[in-house]
A and B are shown apart, each in its own frame.
Chain A
């Protein structure tokens, strides 16, 4: 009779079947492959650079740039490349920050509108979202730039709004606030108001805790601060700010703030495009709070605003924040499409630098590092906020 019982493996497992050895071996092979690839690329790069007669260093950043940048902080063509690049970074940040604010407002508005009980409002919001989400951003930027902003009337025939805003094919002119000598006094008022607000906030908080009731903690602090700020505004001799109005002088407007056509088109396109995505995020965030929660809140006797503030928002914000963060990052990265219409952002300036100096590798490294730093800072901030929001264990 044959013995069918399994054979007892004697001695050690051979190394080619030992999972511990295999794991290390597998990783070593993988790493070697990656390193080999990098080495090949590196030697190729050296060869390629030698062929082009270039060396890899950052000295060129101290050379005179020699090209003009149409907008941004004060800059002369005689400034160095590093300064030019800095102007590009600031331009990217400017359009991104303003764009994020506008896109969030648009998104909030249309996201809530999509949940309206009014069919007309709901349908318009849906149409907005579906239209702008499904068309490439680059096409939208070009459309706004060439077909809308580019078709605005000439300077002489500017569209005037509210007496201080002028729109023409050279840009959008807005009144800009100019600080006066009274600004210091007003800031003092603001400081006092803030102090008062903090005190009132704490007092109200304590009181609510004592009563053990939900309520709006800043109910006293907010109006108090506003009243002090407003009083300060009127009590300050000569007002803290004066408005610098744009005025038509000769062939162009002088004074005030100017948004160039490139900037305006880019800003509109970025805000409208990202706003459509944010609207969907807001809608799904609010819808994710189950109906029972609202009904329960009603049953407990909370009113509409309390339900929204204490029940719906605390549950939907943690759901909204992560995708919202990635939309903000997307907007920042998408602002690089400015290169198509000549807005001097990071990529656009970087491109000019590359063609002028031929130093493509360091410039690419600088562009990518800048974006990575922006992305990582934003995600770090948003992660911190997310943790703070989620601090109450759900």
Chain B
């Protein structure tokens, strides 16, 4: 009896520290940290003062709302804007269903997405736009509720994600003259399309190239090594220039539009880097795994698909996501070639005499959008790593 009372008296040490204590531990723990902190605080004060004064008094932010549609979809025709919304709705349905079924990270993603649509619906846009936003909120929520607990739907949802890719392209493009020419795709929409196509296509291509490079058939190994090293040796911009100038020479008669050429350039470029990342993972798999798979009677394709690749890819998730982020940022290079992606829109807005001298505002806005996407990708990758327990084995 007495013993229990004794244990009850023992309380765990408090996790929270008082602010003063925290300051002392983290800013003023030694004499040189005191000095450093004071110095940095003074510098920070002046930097923030200058920046905030600029942002709140001098900067003319009016340029952003005035061109918001341009930033979003470029010169996508207004009467066809329902195509973009349809794509967003398809995406919302898939995200909602996935969130309902898998929960965890996907659920958080869906909630953030729904939140963004909700903010859009409350913002002072035109009534029709706000309606579309409200619809997106509803779609996300309804599909989330529909998907709850239906774990038997998992393979269907995965298939849905795969199918959504061509479907989205068709919806955006439409058919023939009634559709929207790819030359009218622009803004963030074009950036995202280029990035998604690049990621979706270059990933399997990279895995394939990595397997080729690890192959014990010399001809295949040499050719893929030569390809990977040649592509990694040159800057992306030369490859994009080549796609622009050389494709018409090497493939006369084949009329490929510029967006597709840029997609090809980005994809073939990124695949080489992806291959090197995957190869890193493949090399980390011990020989015993291959031998065990062979001993059980699996053939090459089965060994790779069921034994080696799942382990190899899991161990290089950070590198692969890093490559995805690099690819996403690299899509901005198409602005040099003349496509009007997010950065291209920023450049054309600045070139507009109505918005003369607003480089800082416009580029900052574009930078924030790029940052949000890149940073959420790297955040997601960290979450996936923890979820899969990478590095704990």
Contacts and interface: CB of A to CB of B under 8 A. Distances in A.
B217 A118 contact: no
A281 to B, nearest CB: 12
A332 to B, nearest CB: 8
B33 A371 contact: no
B237 A336 contact: yes
A61 B241 CA distance: 20
Contact of A135 (B245, B346, B367): B367
Contacts of B378: 134
B235 A136 contact: no
Interface in A347-394: 347, 351, 354, 360-361, 364, 367-368, 371-372, 375-376
Interface residues of A, number: 55
A340 interface: yes
Interface string B326-352: 000110110110000001001100100
B336 A30 contact: no
A30 B41 contact: no
A134 B325 contact: yes
Interface stretch (A45-53, A98-106, A153-161, A208-216): A45-53
Contact of B230 (A26, A136, A372): A372
B88 interface: no
A279 to B, nearest CB: 15
Contacts, number: 152
Contacts of B371: 131, 134-135
B219 A367 contact: no
A361 B26 CA distance: 59
Contact of A146 (B33, B223, B363, B370): B363
Interface string A4-37: 0000000000000000000100111011001000
B235 A371 contact: yes
Contact of B223 (A34, A131, A135, A137): A34
Contacts of B77: none
A43 to B, nearest CB: 10
B375 interface: yes
A375 to B, nearest CB: 4
Contact of B235 (A31, A45, A347): A347
Nearest to B329: A136
A133 B223 CA distance: 33
Interface in B33-81: 33, 36-37, 40-41, 44
Contacts of A336: 235, 237-238
Nearest to B328: A136
A367 B237 CA distance: 11
Q: Which of B26, B233, B325, B371 has the most CB of A within 10 A?
A: B233
A333 to B, nearest CB: 4
A198 B336 CA distance: 53
A123 B321 CA distance: 24
A203 interface: no
B332 A136 contact: yes
Contact of A49 (B40, B234, B249): B249
Contacts of A138: 332-333, 335-336, 343
B370 A376 contact: no
B130 to A, nearest CB: 30
Interface string B226-269: 00001011111110011001101111100000000000000000
A175 interface: no
B390 interface: no
B113 interface: no
Contact of A354 (B245, B329, B330): B245
Given A118-B27, A136-B329, A371-B235, A142 B347 contact: yes
B33 A117 contact: yes
A120 B367 contact: no
A372 B249 contact: no
Given A138-B332, A371-B234, A119 B27 contact: yes
A372 B234 contact: yes
A124 interface: yes
A367 B347 contact: no
A165 interface: no
A119 to B, nearest CB: 4
A372 B230 CA distance: 7
A360 B364 CA distance: 36
A333 B250 contact: no
B386 interface: no
B252 A375 contact: no
Nearest to B191: A136
Contacts of B217: 23, 26-27, 30
Given A131-B371, A146-B363, A339 B250 contact: no
B359 interface: yes
Contact of B250 (A44, A120, A147): A44
A150 interface: yes
Contacts of A142: 343, 346-347, 359, 363
A143 B363 contact: yes
Interface string A288-315: 0000000000000000000000000000
Nearest to B374: A134
A45 B27 CA distance: 66
23 contacts: A27-B217, A27-B219, A30-B219, A44-B252, A118-B36, A120-B36, A121-B36, A124-B44, A134-B374, A135-B370, A136-B370, A137-B329, A139-B367, A143-B367, A147-B360, A147-B363, A333-B234, A336-B235, A347-B238, A364-B241, A371-B233, A371-B235, A375-B233
Closest 10 interchain pairs by CB?
A119-B26, A134-B374, A48-B249, A333-B235, A27-B219, A136-B329, A336-B235, A136-B332, A147-B360, A147-B359
Given A30-B219, A336-B237, A361-B249, 7 more contacts: A30-B217, A124-B40, A136-B370, A138-B335, A139-B363, A371-B234, A371-B238
